[in-house]
Structure 1
């Protein structure tokens, strides 16, 4: 009987201790959550306080990006005089180039053209004429009518006006490793390159360049990368 009484007393004491432990734990958890909430609130206030600085930095970066284009010094020096100059427009296509004379213009007229066409690149030639470059994604009239990609007598991949046998060179790209090509490519592909591959659109132009660039000599590849 005495043992049973001791057990009952121990059970009662354990229940009291357990309640006390739960109470203390709950209070501690509440205090911890309150402390974390205060810390988080303080960090949020710090971030909010720094936001104008971030916005100011972003604004400066945007301003720097917008004004990153170099000033056209040739145009500034041109505007200091009132001398009329002959203006040339050079249209640089993906395949081929075309040039035309826009006429003789005063510096203010030239500046107005540059303003209307901000993507054009300008320069002052050695003879005093003004040259404007317009880059166009497409084929020039010459390329679309009679453009051929082939190999010249020196083993260079070349753009011709007409078949390569006419030897009307429009542009030379890079020197080819002919020996490797002869050992790898089918005979009909080599024959087609020698006779000239007709270029009819920009995709075909880029495809031919990409295909035969795999056979470019290392020295020629370095020259292309530098250009």
Structure 2
């Protein structure tokens, strides 16, 4: 599929259907002035980064493509998502939490008892991500107090550690409802 998109992209922008050769045959003097290199093509490149917490960031760059080979080599670590004449969209999964979470994310408990991450301290901020329903009866008072105050999310390691530490307190689905 990617090769088809690459081929279509190449022929759309760089294939001249023998135009240069035809002009050279009709007008030999003009042929000396014709540059056989394809004209550069400008596209908007959209880079989507998908973080572990589900956050997606977008970076938009304008690029001039002189060589398709060089262009594709520059994005070898990215997955091609979409391509038109005007833009190319790439996506990359990032094995880390988003900058938003690192700067302002707090674990807390929602009003209905769900372990969640808030954009700021719990109780006064919106929920960014929800995980699982907690069994409030089993939850130790110290852990409940931590969640009410908010546990800052500073790194991927702390993100994973907090989720794992509250996993034993999640409500399990009743097997009879299968």
Aligned to 2:149: 195
Q: CA deviation at 1:186?
A: 0.5
Gap runs ≥5 in structure 1? 1-69, 220-227
Q: Retained in 2: the 8 A contact 1:81–1:107?
A: no
> What's the TM-score, normalizing by structure 1?
0.50
More helix by share: 1
User: Relative contact order, CA 8 A, sep 6+: which one is greater?
Assistant: 2
Give the 3-state SS of the residue equivalent to 1:185 in structure 2.
coil
Give the 3-state SS of the residue equivalent to 1:165 in structure 2.
coil
Equivalent-residue separation in structure 2 for 1:165 and 1:208 (angstroms): 19
Equivalent-residue separation in structure 1 for 2:162 and 2:129 (angstroms): 14
Is the aligned partner of 1:135 residue 2:93? yes
Residues 1:200 and 1:108: Cα distance change in structure 2 (over 3 Å): same
1:175 alignment partner, one of 113, 132, 138: 132
Aligned to 1:165: 123
Bigger Cα Rg: 1
> What's the TM-score, normalizing by structure 2?
0.61
Equivalent-residue separation in structure 1 for 2:62 and 2:93 (angstroms): 20
Aligned to 2:20: none
- Count of paired positions: 144
1:93 alignment partner, one of 51, 55, 66: 51
Gap runs ≥5 in structure 2? 14-40
Q: Retained in 2: the 8 A contact 1:148–1:160?
A: yes
